[in-house]
Amino acid sequence: MKTLQVELAERSYPIHIGSGLLRQAELLMPHLAGRQVLVVSNETVAPLYLDAVTAALTDYQVETLVLPDGESTKNLQTLEKILSVLLEQGFGRNCTLIALGGGVIGDMTGFAAACYQRGVAYIQIPTTLLAQVDSSVGGKTAVNHALGKNMIGAFHQPRAVIADTDVLGTLPDRELAAGLAEVIKYGLIRDAGFYTWLEQNMTALRNHDTAALTHAIEQSCRHKAAVVAADERESGQRALLNLGHTFGHAIETGLNYHDWLHGEAVATGMLMAADLSARLGWIEPGVVERIAQLLTATGLPVQPPAIMTPELFRRHMAVDKKARDGQVYLILLEALGAAVVTGDYADDALAATLEHFCRTAQPA
Ligand SMILES: NC(=O)c1ccc[n+]([C@@H]2O[C@H](COP(=O)([O-])OP(=O)(O)OC[C@H]3O[C@@H](n4cnc5c(N)ncnc54)[C@H](O)[C@@H]3O)[C@@H](O)[C@H]2O)c1
Ligand SMILES: O=C(O)C(=O)C[C@@H](O)[C@H](O)[C@H](O)COP(=O)(O)O
Ligand SMILES: [Zn+2]
């Protein structure tokens, strides 16, 4: 097992990464605030892993909540279900929530923990690659609104992250690829060497090679922990983790959170950001081609769905959380491995990127 630390003074916490961790009660127990525990999972993950987690908690009042699956359930109605269970079971301020699932369960459970009695403890047990490399770390919690992705949420750090690499054995290939999109993101924004390693090891990663996946998870968590430690609430460099997300979130909202996975939308969004960077003369067109090749080799889409028009992109991009006084801020590339957050780009270059990608759009 490898343990990394998210250094946030009194809110610091460990990220444990390794095989067989789900059943290790000693990893969970130090982080439980009291005897009352609610494990939140979904109808896909619970039959696979819920028993292993509850079996590790013999001396506690353990309640479980199994939610429906899918991004379209990440909303205020589902949040209310979690809060209702906590109230019905008489949970107090020293209860602990455990998120057992992918990023959807993690974001909603974390937000419920942030809201319940103005804030209780929670632990992340991420079961998708995406959640192990990104969403379980950093304390961004949220639900979606019909008008915008993650629009209702809070920063609330977990007490611990327990990433058991064995659970990736049951993850469908499409979900694995979606997680790899966020892994590629770290290479693009801050680690050209890691990006090259991903190019060289993509076949092994897609074949569920444990050593390759473990390396990718460790490197990703190392990057995320460092960025979050430096800028917990996104007043500066944390925004770099949003590469491709202004375009990607517009796609997810445009599709009403159906059909495309978050990682898929981010993949196309990252290529759009690279295309815009090239149009501005910040990177060579060859870099854009190299990114398109890696995303394609990963099995990720590189064109938006046909429903997306330049107008629809602009409408949804306008409500992005990075927008300031009506100006949309974007993460753009200065090189492969170096990114900036900027509102200082020519609008006609953005228009050209949107036109180019919408002309070549895929059927949804
Ligand atoms: N908070 C953050 O910093 C952050 C970062 C990135 C993404 N996110 C959010 O995370 C969400 C996407 O997360 P995701 O990609 O994990 O999606 P997800 O939670 O919907 O999980 C993907 C699918 O895999 C299934 N699944 C989960 N674990 C499994 C396993 N071990 N075996 C078999 N099936 C399994 C799920 O039931 C689901 O059907 C989005 O809502 C996105 O906005 C948040
Ligand atoms: O942790 C962050 O910061 C990120 O931006 C990580 C993203 O991968 C993630 O999708 C996040 O939820 C997006 O945040 P948002 O603030 O744009 O909703
Ligand atoms: Zn993301």
Which of 10, 26, 118, 324 is an active site residue? 118
Q: Choose one of 242, 266, 270, 316 to mutate for the ligand 2 pocket test, by most ligand atoms within 8 angstroms of C-beta.
A: 242
**Average predicted confidence (pLDDT) for the chain:** 97
Q: Kindly report the protein residue whose alpha carbon is nearest to atom 16 of ligand 2.
A: 321
User: Cβ(135) to ligand 1 under 6 A?
Assistant: yes
The secondary structure of 300-351 as a DSSP string is ---S-BTT--HHHHHHHHTT-TT-BTTBPPEEEEEETTEEEEES-S-HHHHH
Confidence of residue 141 (pLDDT cuts 50, 70, 90): very high
Report whether residue 74 contacts ligand 2, using a CB cutoff of 6 Å: no
Q: Provide the token pair at 363.
A: 């059927």
pLDDT at residue 364 in the model: 66
**Residue 360, pLDDT above cutoff 80:** no
Of 230, 191, 214, 225, whose CA–CA distance to 4 is shortest? Answer: 225
Same fold, 2-170 and 173-359: no
173-359 carries CATH number 1.10.730.10: no
Q: Whose Cα sits closest to atom 14 in ligand 2?
A: 242
Return d(Cα 33, Cα 17) in angstroms, integer. Answer: 22
Quick check: is 316 catalytic? no
In angstroms, what is the C-alpha Rg of the chain?
20
Instruction: Tell whether the model's pLDDT for residue 363 goes beyond 80.
Output: no
Beta pairing class for 161-164 and 13-18? parallel
Does the pTM exceed 0.90?
A: yes
User: 311 CA distance to ligand 3 centroid (A)?
Assistant: 23
Interval between CA 197 and ligand 3 midpoint (Å): 21
Q: Does domain 2-170 have CATH number 3.40.50.1970?
A: yes
For the chain, what are the domain ranges? 2-170, 173-359
The tens digit of pLDDT for each residue in 313-349 reads: 999 999 999 999 999 999 999 999 999 999 999 999 9
Average pLDDT over residues 105-113: 99
What interhelical angle do 173-190 and 210-230 show, nearest 10?
Answer: 50
Tell me the per-residue pLDDT of 222-251, one tens digit each, with 9 for 90 and over. 999 999 999 999 999 999 999 999 999 999
Taking the centre of ligand 1 as the mean of its atom positions, its distance from the CA of residue 104, in whole angstroms, is 5
Judge whether residue 158 has pLDDT over 70.
Answer: yes
Expressed in angstroms and rounded, the spacing between residue 143 Cα and the centre of ligand 2 is: 12
**E strand or H helix that includes residue 33:** none
- C-alpha atoms less than 13 angstroms from C-alpha of 82 in its C-beta half-sphere: 34
Q: What is the distance between the alpha carbons of residues 362 and 201, in angstroms, rounded to a whole number?
A: 28
